[in-house]
Amino acid sequence: MEEVKETPQEIKSTVSGSETGKYVRPSWDEYFLKLIEPIGSRGTCDRGRSGSVIVSPGHTIIATGYVGSPPGQPHCDEVGHMMHTVIHEDGTQSQHCVRTLHAEENAILQCAKDGIRLEGATIYSKMTPCYNCAMRIVRVGIKRVVSMKKYHADGMSRKLFKDAGVELTVIEDKIEEYTKQ
């Protein structure tokens, strides 16, 4: 079930303690969400530079991921995007770069490579995962998704999470903006 728990301003004031004047320790969600930006800075596609963190039920970081091409393959930052246009049932179109793996997918694949189970884990992301990443999240048993913002085409992801019993929390009720959406 989707819920919007805290606004970015509430997160900022809680972390800085500006309301009380003394430091307030961040919640687990605040802590892990603050990690996605520096992790995403390793990304090699300028359309998102998203980061993702997968965390165990005991709040231990299991894996991180960022947007990037598979090992040994050219990156968008080096050779440009590999854009595909998707035409949706309602006639609208969206642009997708298919050169890179998404941050969530890269984190999940790192766990598969290393033989790490994800049952019951939480994944933190810059935006609601796309449908392909959502299918992978459900398949590996991740039970909670926390995103800073919405993805512009996240309707099918939201439905899948709801139907599969995966909790979705979106902090900021806005769509993440990037080029060639």
Choose the catalytic residue: 104, 105, 167, 177.
104
To which residue do tokens 């003394």 refer?
22
Confidence band (pLDDT; 50, 70, 90) for 48? confident
Question: What's 91's DSSP letter?
Answer: S
Instruction: Tell me what percent of the residues of the chain surpass a pLDDT of 70.
Output: 87
Q: Can you give the pLDDT at residue 13?
A: 47
Averaged pLDDT for residues 126-136: 94
| pLDDT for residue 94 | 79
Find the mean pLDDT for residues 32-47: 93
pTM: 0.83
CB 98 within 8 A of CB 121: no
Decide: 87 and 62 in contact? Cβ < 8 Å: no
pLDDT averaged over the chain? 88
Per-residue model confidence (pLDDT) at position 4: 47
104 belongs to the catalytic site: yes
Structure tokens at 32: 């892990």
- pLDDT at residue 127 in the model: 92
- pLDDT tens column, 137-180: 999 999 999 999 988 878 899 999 999 999 999 999 987 876 65
Contacts of 63 (CB under 8 A, 6+ apart): 53, 54, 107, 108, 110, 111, 114, 116
Backbone angles phi, psi at 69, to 5 degrees: -75, 160
Q: For residue 25, give the 3-state DSSP assignment.
A: coil
Report the DSSP pairing between strands 2-3 and 167-170: parallel
Reported as a single tens digit per residue, the pLDDT across 14-25 is 445 556 689 999
> What are the residues facing 28 on neighbouring strands?
none
